[in-house]
Chains A and B, each alone.
Chain A
Amino acid sequence: MGKTALVVDDSPTMRQMVAFTLMNAGFTVIEAEHGRDAVSKIAGKKMDLVVTDLNMPEMDGIALIKELRKSADFKYTPILMLTTESATEKKMAGKEAGATGWIVKPFNPDVLLSTIAKVLPA
């Protein structure tokens, strides 16, 4: 596919799992620990997809989404947030910030990929 994805999560395990699934699906993955890390790593780059956790140090997911939507390169990029069942307020805030969709933890690789298929232009 040759598509690129940004995966942002402060938990290395979660990040690796998401990155692993995406790489198996043919993505080139950039991993970042938190929002600020992500912003610095993608400077000047365009991505096809962003998957981000919400609760993170330094710069959380909501702030990251807002930041990304400000940039012309990420205005229409699908952004998925990783949420937990109970975090409805977070989900709302994420949508407000411009998140395309969400994946509720826990999920399995199939759910992750089918959710991505929903938002990723062919």
Chain B
Amino acid sequence: MSNEFEQFQDAFFEEAAEHLAIVEEGLLQLEQRPEDLDLLNKIFRSAHSIKGASGMFGFDAIAQFTHKMETLLDLLRSGKKIVTPGIADLLLKSTDCLKTLMEGVKLNAPVDENVVQRLSTELAAVSAGEGERASVTPPTSASEPSASEGAYDIRWTPPEWLFRRGLDPLQIFKELIRIGRLSRVNVDTSRLPDLNGVNPETCYLSWTMRLETAASLKEVESVFEFVREDSELSIEAVTVPNPAPEGSGTNVQREIKTATSEASEDGPKSIGEILVESGAVSKEALERALSQQKRVGEILIEQKAATPQQIEQALQTQRQMEAAAQAKKADTTSIRVDTAKIDKLINLVGELVITQSMLSDLGTRFEMGQVHVLLERIAQLERNTREIQERVMSIRMVPIGTAFSRFPRLVRDLAGKLGKKINLVLSGEETELDKTVIEAIGDPLTHLVRNAADHGLETPEERLDNNKPEAGVIKLHAFHEGGNICITVEDDGRGLNRDKILAKAVKQGLVSDGAALSDDQVYPLIMRPGFSTADKVSDLSGRGVGMDVVKRNIEALGGTVSIKTVYGKGTTFTLKLPLTLAIIEGMTIRVGRETYIVPMLSILESIQPKPEAVKTVVGKGELIDVRGIYLPVIRLYNVFNLKPEHVDPAEAILLILETEGERVAVMVDEILGQQQVVIKSMEQNFRKVQGIAGATILGDGTVGFILDVRGLLEIARQGTPMAA
């Protein structure tokens, strides 16, 4: 069905994805509460919406498949069938299949027809199991009529309550006149009571009439579509007394009729076809006539309404527009934004415009005495800008629930596969996060949840032996903390085994035997590449890859992963993520005459050490004793070859930075302040520089570099200063 509805396809895909999520989530809940009618209704409505809308775009495979699901859901809803695990499973599989079908039409991807077929059959079989309610769509009652006879005798007695449904006989007549010519119209008023007895809302009349038309019986019947079932109606085709088959007036009228209705999509045949069929015109004559038809452009040129160049240009524009439309279709990632957010933004832009005009007004007649006014206006501008920035950012914010929604299903399937009992608890789903971040954390989160289910939680027997409830719990929780989003993945399983990790790390040469390591140093070892303590490689997770990838992905987003665990009690992974990728909260610092920015996220504290706290250890470089823990010291001026103000740590300032659970002390001259900075990529504009994460434009217009804490740690480890 190609029509102007196509522009709504993207909206449909988005809506359908939401409905699919509702169906899936609903089905999972249904397993716990099989008799919840509200839930069933909700699932049914979503399936129904998908079916209805997909049909509108001609996605028949989706519509048909959803129809089968809907049939089964309807049986469940009406209590004719009960939700069994088998049915729930079938419906879940069907939802998956529906997703694939949806992807199929969206991206033109191939779909495994066998799966669709198998599930369709299964759905139909389960639904039909009930017997009488197998989904058989009744054949459309009106059979295709033979060629039009030209006239119909119509006898119509409408139901008395016609008006009460907003129907009006006049409408019917109007419609009949539109498709033909009415004659011999007789009104039967015999049922009309005395004026006293007349109820103005009742229809007492009935009619007989003749309709001369080229329309088919079906078309005439369709005029009465909304009243037919409740009326006494007979429509009989009659042969017109003097048909005059050739060249008569009626024929001409018919041709015109057909010509006008040609525009409608399923309209009758074209005049040409009819003429050829009736033998009035030969096929060759028709083709000759058609070949003389010209394109709009040619006619316009002939009539000198346009030059050939203009037409050529217009055609080119048309081709470009087509290509652009095609390209646009190929990839649009869209985002749904609350209109309130946009309204607010428009308001703010309005305020910005006012501030701007106030400033330019001030500029035209500025005197030095007005400096305070100028400063006031600039402060206002700053407020406007910051607020607009925040609002624009908030447009990209979507609730993290969209990333969480896949887990109920995942955990259910995992529990089945592993033979464990797992309760999943989600909280903080409404916490908003940048859309790109949400998209990027999906995989790491999945990995953590899989790990928790597979390695974290014990088998039911093991749990019972340890006086734990049989069912394990995995909690996913999201919340704001400072300018960051924290997501925790918590399980109440066996916890990490410190000794086992340490032993393995020693074996792999990651740490030296007998080294005294803090918990914060031991547990992150599992996130080193190639590190896995799972005794055997399981189907689900723990092939020795995984945690390092999780860590890398999260860090690529500017976030951190930390681990808290109590042996035998459980493990919690905490992901700390920036609200957005484009802007970070940074601390501006000075070394010599250069300004750098340190991400706030990685700053633990800043100290001014006592002279004796910094020591040089052979083979390890400089170390500083911070409350009993020795941290490597990096002199930033050494790294970037600068001339510093202070070379004595006791006079300078040491920033204690942390990343990946490792700490380092970075020596700087001065802390300037705190500000939000927009990150510009170094790789894209210059080349990668170790120790630098990116650049930004500072308030005075100069370029400031953003320090890469991990890079600095690498430098500290190698002990080789880099030339900038």
Contact = CB atoms under 8 A, between A and B. Distances in A.
Given A98-B166, A100-B165, A109-B3, A14 B53 contact: yes
Interface string B223-258: 101100110000000000000000000000000000
Contacts of B174: 122
A105 B48 CA distance: 11
Contact of A13 (B11, B58, B67, B226): B11
28 contacts: A11-B15, A11-B49, A13-B53, A14-B53, A20-B4, A20-B8, A53-B52, A55-B44, A57-B42, A76-B168, A78-B166, A78-B167, A84-B48, A84-B55, A86-B135, A95-B165, A100-B165, A101-B167, A106-B52, A106-B56, A108-B5, A109-B3, A109-B4, A118-B225, A118-B226, A119-B166, A119-B167, A120-B171
B264 interface: yes
Interface in A67-121: 69, 75-79, 82, 84-86, 88, 95, 98-102, 105-110, 114, 117-121
A75 B168 CA distance: 13
Interface in B120-177: 135, 137-138, 163-168, 170-171, 174-175
B5 A102 contact: no
Contacts of A16: 8, 11
A78 B167 CA distance: 7
A82 B137 contact: no
B51 interface: yes
Interface residues of A, number: 43
A56 interface: yes
Contact of A17 (B8, B42, B166, B226): B8
A110 B15 contact: no
Interface of B: 1, 3-5, 8, 11-12, 15, 41-42, 44-45, 48-49, 51-53, 55-58, 63, 67, 135, 137-138, 163-168, 170-171, 174-175, 223, 225-226, 229-230, 264-265
A12 B11 contact: yes
A74 B58 CA distance: 34
Contacts, number: 109
Contacts of A99: 165-166
Given A98-B166, A100-B166, A100-B226, A106 B63 contact: yes
Interface of A: 10-14, 16-17, 20-21, 53, 55-57, 69, 75-79, 82, 84-86, 88, 95, 98-102, 105-110, 114, 117-122
Contact of B52 (A82, A95, A101, A109): A82
Contact of A69 (B164, B171, B225): B164
A75 B201 CA distance: 10
Contact of A106 (B58, B163, B229): B58
A121 B4 CA distance: 26
Given A85-B137, A100-B167, A119-B166, A106 B3 contact: no
A105 B164 CA distance: 25
Contact of A108 (B1, B44, B168, B170): B1
A105 B12 contact: no
A50 to B, nearest CB: 9
Contacts of B1: 106, 108
A106 B55 contact: yes
